[in-house]
Structure 1
Amino acid sequence: MTTPSSLPRPDGELEELARVWRTPRGWRFLTTVNNSTIGLLYIGTALLFFVLAGILGLLIRVQLAVPDNGFLSAGVYNQVFTMHGTVMMFLFAIPIVEAISVFLLPAMLGARDLPFPRLSAYAYWAYAAGGIGFFLSIFAGLAPDGGWFMYPPLTGKEHSPGINADFWLLGIGFIEISAIAGAIELIVGILFTRAPGMTLSRMPVYAWAMLVIALMIVFAFPAIIAGTTLLELERAYDWPFFIPARGGDPVLWQHLFWFFGHPEVYIIFLPAAGMVSMMLPALVGARLVGYRAVVIALGAVGVISFALWAHHMFTAGLSLWSSTLVSAASMIVAIPTALQVFAWIATLWRGRARLNAPTLFVLGFLFIFVLGGLTGVMVAVLPFDWQAHDSYFIVAHLHYVLIGGLVFPMFGALYYWLPLVNGHRLSEALARWVFGLMFIGMNLAFFPMHISGLLGMPRRVYTYAPEMGWNAFNLASSIGALIFALGVLLFICDAARTLRRPQRDHGNPWQAGTLEWIPAEDHATRSIPDVRSLEPLWDNPRLVEEVHAGAHWLPGTATGRRETIVTSPVRARPLYLQVLPGDSWWPLAAALGTAGFFLLLTVQLTVIAWVCGMIAIASVLAWMWQSDSLPGLPEMRSAQVADGVTLLVGATGLASHSLWATVIMLVVDGTVFASFVFTHIHTAMRLDICPPPGAALPAAGWSWSACGLLLAGSLLMAWARRQAAHGRQRLAFLLALCCMLAGVALDIGSWIATRLDPASTAWAASVAVMLSYQGLHAVLLAILAAYLWMRSWCGRLTAVNRATLDNCTLIWHYTTLQAWCLAAAIRITAG
């Protein structure tokens, strides 16, 4: 690598780079896809939902401040209580985690941008539009009122006949899709777009934390998508998944919900832990103690958390053996968590802490989260949990973990990283007031709940009698909530004041050693740094000067478009130059179409909803059409990315980042299908005879013939990938489509011939939902086949521009595999 002084950069190179990456102004700002800009929008929207959920929480505390209070009626209280939990968990906690990472990670990894900027834009707009639409339901009296956990049979049609529960099921379902889209972006970005030289052993702890939680999202969130689908099908079409009289089981919902819900606690905590591990070394002026141990602990927590889903089901009638195993796992997870805490304490001991705003919030986090962890171990003990379950003790534990594990580190991170936005720090004097009010208010609000819970106060009650003895504890909690809210309000005022100040160079106010503190513009840094250590700014004091002079990787735009360097997942060796899609209306249109489809279905505007759905599909196809090409210069197969270094432009096959994104998407898809298979197995095991009386299986020959046709379609798609002649490709697409449609039609038709009635039994409904999911894939493959045929017809499907063909072929093979698994699952459980 040359030095800045030995090789000056060409005139106009920096101006051209800035022009290509410039963020649009005015109304065209809505087209921006730059991750740093989208990240700021994401953070602002998530904080808005935090404030809105906090206001709902204050209403709850006003209602419970004194006994026999009539401030809120029972019905309104249930809506407020449900919306408070739902907004906090689904519209604030997970989105703020992804929002901060979308803003920070490109700079922290030394990349120009994450690999799918339009996917990030789509995820944000879908979340913002859908979340706001969902929240507005409370003003129409249509907010869900069954609790943020939505347990049936309370949320079934019999006990919740309106559309309130449907808002939760459809609204939250597609918001989770937005979170999964963000997770795919993060996994591929962290593994493939790190700066050259940033090996896994040099990757920041925060990037490790986000990689772990993104993988957790991929495996955990499909369960809640499957669960909401099942409950909505029960409510809309009377498919009795959770109705015991027809073979259903309400506990099935708890299994699906908590397989998502308990890992979600760690999905919220681990990024905050990663932020603490990033902030502490800079705040105390010492390297993080036990870097490798902390990284291993992050992974261990992520894995163990999936063994805890029944942690909230100890009173649901599980066997003692199952409960004991989950109880043990609930205690074991404290070991890697404690390891991180000890590493932070050792780092504090090694360095010299300065009691500035971020340090105060980090110390507050350690105190509050450790208390929440201790009560978590308490409720992992079966006899204690049997007494404390569904009491206000659990409410106290939950808030100590979530506020201590997320909110306090988040506020510390806002104080720490806000200078990256406009160069200004928040007021240190006001920060002490903010911290003091939040710390005192939080403990005053939630610590008394431990006592009121042990005195017998149940959760989810909207009032209580004065003779119960809970009066003083509830009044103290309400006063504490108000004090906490005053701290948040003071922070908002200070942030608004600071963000209105004129832009300036942020410098490195904390003397940190990581890359995000290198001065950056819309195009990120002047050149992509060559990384040689874990804290490059500490180990190379001239790095900022070298990067700014363009002495490192990709100092300009090699193709005249936005680009970043794709590196190998482990060693971070440069592989190829990725051309990134620019600003576009399509992600916004696709997001609005998606949000409109789900929200309008809820209010039964079916025709308009399907129009929105078609707009979403058309927008995604248009976005794919633009993106699936090299830089518009087919003759440019390579480009110079550093002095004497040339890389290929784009890649195909296993080297392509988009193929791996498709693999991750199919893992999500497979996990949703596995949740439906689990539903079928769970339902079948409750039967004395399977299939139940009155039901029958189609002849085995029909099912295996259908699978054979799907296999033939997959073989035709594999053959098409190897053909250079466009005409042969188009014929293969049509033949593969015919085989696939014939196979799916044969399978579904054979079940129709048995007079399968999904409304008769839960077993029949579980079969029908798996068949419907297979039919949905048939529709998807039909759309993709038409899309590939058009690309081939237009000459855009070549040996070079074939990313969509590779990805669609992979989806085709997955659909075939899913069909075989479906047939096997039904035959084995009925055998």
Structure 2
Amino acid sequence: MTEAQAPHLEEVEVTPWREYFSFSTDHKVIGIQYLVTSFVFYLIGGLLAELVRTELATPASDFVPRETYNELFTMHATIMIFLWIIPTLTGGFGNFLVPLMIGARDMAFPKLNAIAFWIIPPTSILLLCSFFVGPASAGWTSYPPLSLMTNKAGEAIWILGVILLGTSSIMAGLNFLVTILKMRIPSMTLNDMPLFCWAMLATSALQLVATPVLSGAMVLLGFDLLVGTNFFNPAGGGDPIVYQHMFWFYSHPAVYIMILPAFGLISEILPVHARKPIFGYQAIAYSSIAISFLGLIVWAHHMFTSGTPDWLRMFFMIATMVIAVPTGIKVFSWVATVWGGKLNLCSAMLFGMAFVSMFVVGGLSGVMVASVPFDIHVHDTYFVVAHLHYVLFGGSVFGIYAGLYHWFPKMTGRMLNEFWGKVHFAMTFVGFNICFLPMHVLGLQGMNRRIAEYDPKFAALNVVCTIGSYILATSTIPFVVNAVWSWLAGPRANSNPWKGLTLEWTVPSPPPVENFEEDPVLAIGPYDYGTPKALDFVAATLAPAHALAAESLE
């Protein structure tokens, strides 16, 4: 029997499997519903990406028609952003972990929580059904007047889908904000919260402030498309630049909506597997709030080539560079946390450390494109594609995988296979870098993005990128097989397989319906590793009263 398995087992109440297919108000069920549903759309979005890369393997448009290519990359980006990363990090991990980490029995508004999730499946199906009428093909930014000139039915479905998904995001943000601020146990102050909760607090504020602006832009664009108004249509006197301002006022903060929760996950994972206290707790916590605020005043750096006045470009250039400061604080704190630690190089830790290194690459190229002269040079090239993916895949997706490997035992009561976890990590890391690292060079050489045909001089590097994308796609197979097999028949996990100090590790794995038999009392800080209190805390979590019965997992 492994160390991660419970030495003593007794029966506790667990959630029946049928509950996961129902309208449940249990935050843990909703969290897993988010995770599984969004992962399905990750596979669909990944399939679309492979079709795009296959087309780009040759300079000519010889795999799919040009219009189909436009539809593929439009829907790929839409699915990956709105149906994979945001729902997984905020809805999935946020729902499952936040109440457990703050000692609550559920979210503040359980029914609203369930509604926020159940908006997503029909909206997702609606977006996929657009392929029967011709989906949106103006890119995930859907700039007018192009979006007003393409497939009308597909664009209308896309607009409605974004509005509905935005509504779900607003509901979730409100719920998290109230839950974190009002439902912590009395002994937990804000400065006692796990850093993931700080990240979700900052993320929720962004969702509430920025998402309604996107919804407003979608409503006005829908009127232009379907009714014939001229809010953004220059042919009728409208101003498409106003749309860009409204769109990016949400869509740049959306980058932080996608990365802040991943920052929180990494801040939880690294101390546990390094067996060291987190370095600079308050600096990491307050830097999340700083990123949330600064993220709202940098949107126009996406518009440096759209006629923005010079004085305004200078303001947004400086603001964008300043936002690197709180991000750098996090990176240096993570490195200091790992430095000199007793590292447990399990799958979660490997993905966590890869997250830091890959995000640094994306962050450095982000500072480069924040500079107006450089941005004008690489605007709309593959340098921007490389930067985006190093932030959102090297960052958010690596963070998601780290979180899945770390909290899978808590969610399911089973341990994932470490060998196949490391195979998954190696294939993902290698495939990702082979795919996206050469795109920096392609962009600097002038290859434009969002086109199916390109100059033959770019062919060799595009073949390399396509091979990397195939390795990256194949890397998903060992993870899926590992997760399904382990969930059904993997080794049983005890309540605290990683010897963590946050409150979710004090309850059985998986947690009972009501989380806690009675309100817990905070007895130790979430990162106080290496102290006598930590030894006592871990010993208490491994007592027989916290072990899961074998019968309850059958």
TM-score, L = length of structure 1: 0.61
**Which residue identity lines up with residue 339 of structure 2 in the other structure?**
W
Matching residue's letter, 1:34: D
Q: CA deviation at 1:194?
A: 1.2
Matched residue, 2:143:
151
Counterpart position of 1:748: none
CA distance in 1, matches of 2:41, 2:301: 28
**Aligned partner of residue 163 in structure 1, secondary structure:** helix
SS in 2 for 1:315: coil
Out of 259, 269, 272, the residue aligned to residue 269 of structure 1 is 259
Alignment CA distance shift 1:536-1:390 (3 Å) = closer
1:101 — aligned with what?
Answer: 94
Higher relative contact order (CA 8 A, sep 6+): 2
Aligned match of 1:522 in 499, 513, 517? 513
Distance 1:505 1:368 in 2: 31
1:505-551: CA deviation from partner (whole Å, max 9, x where unpaired): 533121111111122311112222111442289636555887999x9
Q: Residue 245 of structure 2 is aligned with which of 237, 252, 255?
A: 255
In the superposition, relative to structure 1, how do residues 534 and 456 fare at CA in structure 2: closer, same or farther (>3 Å)?
same
Q: Which residue of 1 aligns with 2:435?
A: 445
Aligned to 2:552: none
Pair 1:352-2:345 in alignment = no
Cα separation, 2, equivalents of 1:345 and 1:380 = 25
Q: SS at 1:509's partner residue?
A: coil
AA partner of residue 86 (structure 1): T
For 2:17 and 2:387, how far apart are their aligned partners in 1?
A: 46
The letter of the residue matching 2:485 is R
* CA offset digits 1:442-471 (Å, max 9, x no partner): 1110111111111111111012242xx100
Partner of 1:181 in structure 2? Answer: 171
Q: 1:228 aligns with which of 194, 206, 218?
A: 218
Letter in 1 for 2:452: Y
What CA distance in whole angstroms lies between the structure 2 residues aligned with 1:224 and 1:210? 20
**Which amino acid in the other structure matches residue 96 of structure 1?**
T
Could you tell me which residue of structure 2 aligns to residue 464 of structure 1?
454
User: Match of 1:480, as an amino acid?
Assistant: G
Match of 2:126 in 1: 133
Aligned to 1:88: 80
Is contact 1:82-1:145 (8 Å) kept? yes
| 1:76 is the counterpart of 2:68 | yes
Deviations 1:258-282 (A, max 9, x none): 0001111111111111111111111
For residue 124 of structure 1, what is the aligned residue in structure 2? 117
Does 2:43 match 1:55?
A: no
The residue type paired with residue 305 of structure 2 is T
Matched, 1:410 2:400: yes
- 2:376 aligns with 386
Question: Distance in 1 between the 2:539 and 2:500 partners?
Answer: 16
Q: How much has 1:172 moved relative to structure 2?
A: 1.0
Aligned equivalents of 2:21, 2:473: Cα separation in 1: 33
CA distance in 1 between partners of 2:526 and 2:384 (Å)? 41
Question: 3-state DSSP class of the match of 1:418?
Answer: helix
Alignment-derived partner of residue 184 in structure 2: 194
Contact 2:496–2:541, Cα closer than 8 Å, also in 1: no
CA displacement, residues 19-71 of structure 1 (integer Å, 9 cap, x when unaligned): xxx75665895132111011101100111111110110000000000121411
Q: Is the 8 A contact 1:196 1:529 kept in 2?
A: no
CA shift for structure 1 position 303:
0.8
Give distance in 2, aligned partners of 1:112 and 1:501. Answer: 28
Matched, 1:294 2:284: yes
1:111 matches 2:101: no
2:193, 2:526 within 8 Å by CA — same for their partners in 1?
no
Residue 704 of structure 1: aligned partner: none
Greater CA drift, 540-549 or 277-286: 540-549
Name 2:476's counterpart in structure 1: 488
Q: Is 1:304 aligned to residue 294 of structure 2?
A: yes
Three-state SS of the structure 2 residue aligned to 1:470 is helix
| CA distance in 2 between partners of 1:548 and 1:67 (Å) | 59
**Alignment partner of 1:155: what SS?**
helix
In structure 2, relative to structure 1, the CA distance for the partners of 1:548 and 1:174 (3 Å cut) is same
1:136 is displaced (CA, Å) by 2.8
Residues 677-732 of structure 1 show CA distances to partners (whole Å, capped at 9, x for unaligned) of xxxxxxxxxxxxxxxxxxxxxxxxxxxxxxxxxxxxxxxxxxxxxxxxxxxxxxxx
User: Which residue of 2 is the match for residue 477 of structure 1?
Assistant: 465
The aligned residue for residue 283 of structure 1 is 273
Offset at 1:196? 2.4
What is the CA distance between 1:375 and its match in structure 2? 0.6
Match of 2:526 in 1: 535
**Equivalent in 510, 529, 551 of residue 498 of structure 2:** 510
Counterpart check, 1:339 vs 2:329? yes
* Alignment partners' CA distance in 1, 2:417 and 2:19: 33
The answer to whether the 8 A contact 1:23-1:34 is kept is no
Give the Cα separation in 2 of the matches to 1:234 and 1:102: 37
- Displacement after TM superposition at 1:142 (Å): 2.5
Q: Is the 8 A contact 1:202 1:533 kept in 2?
A: no
SS in 2 for 1:102: helix
Q: CA contact under 8 A between 2:116 and 2:172: conserved in structure 1?
A: yes
**Structure-to-structure mapping, 1:777-792, within 5 angstroms:** none
Normalising by structure 2, report the TM-score: 0.91
Deviations 1:145-170 (A, max 9, x none): 111000000011xx125311101101
- Corresponding residue of 1:753: none
After the TM superposition, which of the residue ranges 269-278 and 423-432 deviates more from structure 2?
423-432
Shift of the alpha carbon at 1:346? 0.5
| Contact 1:391–1:453 (CA under 8 A) maintained in structure 2 | yes
Contact 1:104 / 1:516 at 8 angstroms: preserved in 2?
yes
Instruction: Please list every run of at least 4 consecutive aligned residues from structure 1 whose deviation after the TM superposition is greater than 6 angstroms.
Output: 544-549
